[in-house]
Amino acid sequence: MEINEEILINLKGLTMKFGELKAVNNVDININKNEIVGLIGPNGAGKTTIFNCITGLYPSYEGSIYLDGEDIKGKNPWEIRRKGITRTFQTSRIIPNLSVYDNAFIGSLAEKRGPLFSAIFNRYKFNKELEKEINKVNGFFEIFNKDLINKGFTAASEISQIDTRRLEVVRALMMEAKLLLLDEPTAGLTMEESKEFIGDIYKIKEKFPELGTIIIEHDMEVIKGATKRVIVLNYGEKITEGSFEEISKNDEVKEAYLGQ
């Protein structure tokens, strides 16, 4: 296939079947580097399923997914993460009994070299790594919410809902990433918090200019405020894409949302 330098990820004819049910049906999507794209559609439209296909959780899809020109079909989720695709989850998968820092550190455990040896025999190296990671996390907290720096070693169950979402994003970005998949990041947040979150997305964009982002959202304010292009799904099929203004005028889109 011809390699377009601008295209970060390319989904072609993506079809995911569960038995006879086509959760995703012949979807084509292109995301460019450094784009923030919205992915919307009613519940059950197949949005999270697409994320799961991309990240390797559903390996048995039909069609193809190319990241930076490389076919990632059949790769394990952990291999796909190391290729640069990272994500957050619809229900925050933050581990409540671990500390805030520990939850973030999980995001970069995969890049540690020889952790077992250095843990026992080379404490100096480990301490240097630990300091670097703490500074990395604090750097993120500076951008999102300075208070979190003091809460680094408290249990993650004790931070607020929006901070939990932020922590998930921090964890996703602790290791180098090319593509960030945000799955309903403002679910459960108040209107105020959602507005804050749009600001957070822009801060991420500033920090990682090359990062491509796909956001699944139901909150149209967030889509309007944060994304330049929107892809609309319904019953597993892509019905249209374009800017927010364009798609909100589209009849099919209106019917998909209002005709429920």
Give the footprint of another protein on this chain (CB under 8 A). Answer: 55, 57, 76-78, 81-82, 86-87, 89, 93, 95, 97-99, 102, 105-107, 109-112, 115-116, 118-120, 123, 126, 129-130, 153-155, 171-172, 175
What is the closest distance, in whole angstroms, from the C-beta atom of residue 47 to another protein in the complex? 17
Tokens coding 74: 């059949």
| Identity of the residue, 21 or 116, whose beta carbon is nearer to another protein in the bound complex | 116
**Spatial separation of the C-alpha atoms in residues 226 and 90, rounded to whole Å:** 18
Cβ-based nearer residue to another protein, 76 or 160 = 76
- Taking the complex as a whole, how short is the minimal distance between the CB of residue 245 and another protein, in angstroms? 34
- Both tokens of 205, joined, read 């964009």
> How far apart are CB 101 and another protein at their closest, in Å?
8
Question: Considering beta carbons, is residue 43 or 97 the nearer one to another protein?
Answer: 97
Closest approach of another protein to the CB of residue 27, in Å: 21
Residue with smaller CB distance to another protein, 109 or 191: 109
Helix (H, G, I), strand (E, B) or coil at 92: coil
**Token pair of 114, please?**
């020889």
Query: Measured from the CB atom, is 24 or 175 closer to another protein?
Result: 175
Which residues are CB-neighbours of 173 under 8 A, at least 6 positions away?
86, 107, 140, 180, 204, 208
Q: How far apart are CA 88 and CA 7, in angstroms?
A: 22
Closest Cα to residue 183, out of 49, 83, 2?
Answer: 49
Question: Would you state the structure tokens that stand for residue 242, as one six-digit string?
Answer: 């374009």
- Tell me phi and psi for residue 45, to 5 degrees: -75, -15
Chain-centre distance for alpha carbon 52? 11
- Least distance in angstroms from the C-beta of 106 to another protein: 5
What span, in angstroms and rounded, lies between the C-alpha atoms of 231 and 181? 14
Provide the minimum distance between the beta carbon of 74 and another protein in the complex, in angstroms, as a whole number: 15
For another protein, give the closer residue by CB, 168 or 219: 168
